[in-house]
Structure 1
Amino acid sequence: MNDDLQAVFLDRDGTIGGSDVVEYPGEFKLFPYTAEVIKQLKVKGIQVISFTNQPGISRAVAKEHEFVRELKAFGFDEIYLCPHHHKEGCQCRKPSTGMLEKAAKEHSLDLSKCAVFGDRWTDIMAAKSAGCIAVLVLTGSGTAAYEQNHQTSKVQPDYVAENLQTGADWLLKASMEHKN
């Protein structure tokens, strides 16, 4: 664990709330502990950044500004989202590292001092490719992703957490232990 965790990137659907399917703004509900986790991280001086694939935007099912407004209201410091369908071949859609690299450039972040939380293996792949700490949460699609990939994938999370709260607790504890 590196000194001075700079930022935590949180996936949206299945990680901070919702379920294993996309729920659009207005329908989406945070898990009961998410607002407190965001607050805990921010109190420690850690930037909390949303990074999410939202292909419904390219299909005109939802508007980007609706996601941004909702995520800002949840307390995120910054929002990075990929509006593209996976067939569009962009560099921002996870498992690509485009959103993480853009955030690093715009906020002078050392990605090795950042953590990514997600419920899909694409989140873990993006995190590891960018040099971030990777935490898989078992909410949303997390359990299915773990069962499907943990024995066969060369890419593995640094920690598997029951949910965002237990993952954040682990990250903060590990960060403190490393400082001492």
Structure 2
Amino acid sequence: MSNKRIIEAVFLDRDGTIGGDDTVHFPGSFELFPHSQELISKLKKDEIKVFSFTNQPGISEGKATSQEFIDELTKFGFDDTFICPHSHNEGCSCRKPNTGMLLKGAEKYKLNIENCIVIGDRWSDLVAASKANCIKILVKTGAGNSALNEHYDKIKDIDIEYIAENIKDAIDWLYRQFEIKDLSFSS
């Protein structure tokens, strides 16, 4: 029996992590990276909850609706979506780098947040994950290189478990490092 931690859920950022680039693309114009949907399906097949958590201030600006994002993300295969619809200056508790979306997901699904992985491309993804005590993976796609360079001062004190080239590299690392199923219940 391995002494590796059991992973209960993966929280994936949207823009720059599973598709798109370092800007927001509204539903209908957002394109997934190759393999993103397949990787989401693989995690789910292996009984890991997969959630999207994303800041989308365009909702409060009337550029898109929460339901449009929910419909799109559900189509991509996510078990649930956690969306902050607020603008940068609204002072909510859900907008990354705050932990609201992560804690809401952990509470809703009765997860031990320390057994959850956050994969994102922005400094705010990593700060939220660090505050919530999640396992942190930074992808270099989207704003990932910017997080490592221009915004490094915001993450320099965070113990990032892995810096991945892309979502496929991140998920491959996850499978090498952690127990994916609790085999103690197998017959």
Alignment TM-score, normalising by the size of structure 2: 0.91
**How many aligned residue pairs are there?**
179
Q: Which whole-Å CA distance do the structure 2 matches of 1:158 and 1:61 have between them?
A: 35
- Partner in structure 2 of residue 163 of structure 1: 166
- Partner in structure 2 of residue 126 of structure 1: 128
SS of the aligned residue for 1:51 comes to strand
Residues 48-59 of structure 1: matches in 2 within 5 Å? Answer: 48-59=50-61
Query: What amino acid maps onto 1:158 in structure 2?
Result: E
- Partner in structure 1 of residue 9 of structure 2: 7
SS of the aligned residue for 1:88 comes to coil
- Partner in structure 1 of residue 113 of structure 2: 111
Deviation at 1:156, TM superposition (A): 3.8
- Partner in structure 2 of residue 66 of structure 1: 68
- Partner in structure 2 of residue 41 of structure 1: 43
Structure with greater proportional helix content: 1
- Partner in structure 1 of residue 176 of structure 2: 173
Compare 140-149 and 94-103 and name the one that shifted more: 140-149
Q: Which whole-Å CA distance do the structure 1 matches of 2:138 and 2:71 have between them?
A: 26
Q: Which whole-Å CA distance do the structure 1 matches of 2:179 and 2:87 have between them?
A: 39
- Partner in structure 1 of residue 92 of structure 2: 90
Deviation at 1:33, TM superposition (A): 1.0
SS of the aligned residue for 1:90 comes to coil
Identity of aligned residues (%): 49
Aligned pair partner of 1:20 in 9, 14, 22 = 22
- Partner in structure 2 of residue 141 of structure 1: 143
Q: Which whole-Å CA distance do the structure 2 matches of 1:53 and 1:100 have between them?
A: 12
Deviation at 1:22, TM superposition (A): 0.1
Runs (5+) with no aligned partner, structure 1: none
Query: What amino acid maps onto 1:146 in structure 2?
Result: L
Mark the CA change 1:93 to 1:99 in structure 2 (over 3 Å): closer, same or farther: same
Deviation at 1:97, TM superposition (A): 0.2
Aligned residues of 1:14 and 1:20 also touching (Cα < 8 A) = yes
Alignment TM-score, normalising by the size of structure 1: 0.94
Query: What amino acid maps onto 1:119 in structure 2?
Result: D
Deviation at 1:176, TM superposition (A): 3.8
Aligned residues of 2:15 and 2:142 also touching (Cα < 8 A) = yes
Query: What amino acid maps onto 2:53 in structure 1?
Result: F
Runs (5+) with no aligned partner, structure 2: none
